[in-house]
Structure 1
Amino acid sequence: MDVIQRIITLDRRSKGFYIITNDLVKKLPELKSFSSGTVNFFIQHTSAALTINENWDADTRADMNDILDKIVPESAGYRHTAEGLDDMPAHVKSSLIGPSLTVPITNGKLSLGTWQDIQLAEFRRQPHSRTIVCTIIGLRSN
């Protein structure tokens, strides 16, 4: 059993849902050497999250953004406003979606379904770079 950990920094993005699967895989060349295992992706921020969702239709990403704005509106009267009106709603959305994902590895590839991709959910309007800790645990190919 081998363990590899990498820290990946994603480019600055403003509010929205972004497919980042290829970005992550490109920065994890060791992934190809694992016959089986898992990789955990953990975002080190409280105003963004990681999720797995549909990759075929960009409207799903826009719809996710819109529905979360309805569930967690900026106008809810938050006490924590020192970092901007979108900051506290971003914290709530991040808590709802979550900071981490665990994806199986099969024959050197992420075992995602046909229509699945890993997505960054960025909840702040101001663009931020984001840091993700990636931990691979598994068996290497012979």
Structure 2
Amino acid sequence: MATGGEGITLWYQREVTIPAKKRGCHYISDDILKACKEELNQIKFGTAHIHIKHTSASIILNENYDPSVLTDMEMVLNKLAPENLNYKHTMEGPDDMPAHVKAALMGSSVTVPITNGKFNMGTWQGVWLCEHRDHGGSRKLVVTINGLKK
């Protein structure tokens, strides 16, 4: 277990582009770890704050083992914010306003502890990108890493 102490605190920030995904929920922990490997390897313990720069997709922590959870989550989200409601905001298509609702419910950022250069999550936890549009395109994340230097 890492404990506090004297040392140098490091701060890094990187923008990570996630290629376009189909509508639904997707595991992206490995994408973030790969993109930020150099920065993470410098951290004894700290945090990674992951923020998505979009209003029609979201970032969450959830089950990272059984892929059926991804499918079930999309089903529930579609029941919570269906496309067939009488939305006023329809300029970008029928999936846009429901996407904004889903993103507001799920959130635009997560913070993950870092221990010895690795994400310190539960055994079955992972970072998800939830794409709420049929054709949302690539998504940009801002990953801010800070912590005690190894």
- Structure 1 length normalisation: TM-score? 0.97
2:27 aligned residue: 19
Q: Does 1:49 align with 2:78?
A: no
Q: Gaps spanning 5+ residues in structure 2: where?
A: 1-8
- Secondary structure of the equivalent of 1:25? helix
- Secondary structure of the equivalent of 1:128? coil
1:35 aligned residue: 44
> What amino acid does structure 2 have at the position aligned with 1:113?
G
- Structure 2 length normalisation: TM-score? 0.92
The whole-number CA distance in structure 1 between the counterparts of 2:56 and 2:129 is 11
Report the number of matched residues: 141
The structure 2 residue matched to 1:110, chosen from 116, 119, 132, is 119
C-alpha displacement of 1:127: 4.3
- Secondary structure of the equivalent of 1:60? helix
C-alpha displacement of 1:116: 0.6
The structure 1 residue matched to 2:143, chosen from 134, 138, 141, is 134
Point out the structure with max Rg over C-alpha: 2
1:4 aligned residue: 12
Deviations 1:44-77 (A, max 9, x none): 0000000111111111010000001001111111
1:66 aligned residue: 75
Identity of aligned residues (%): 45
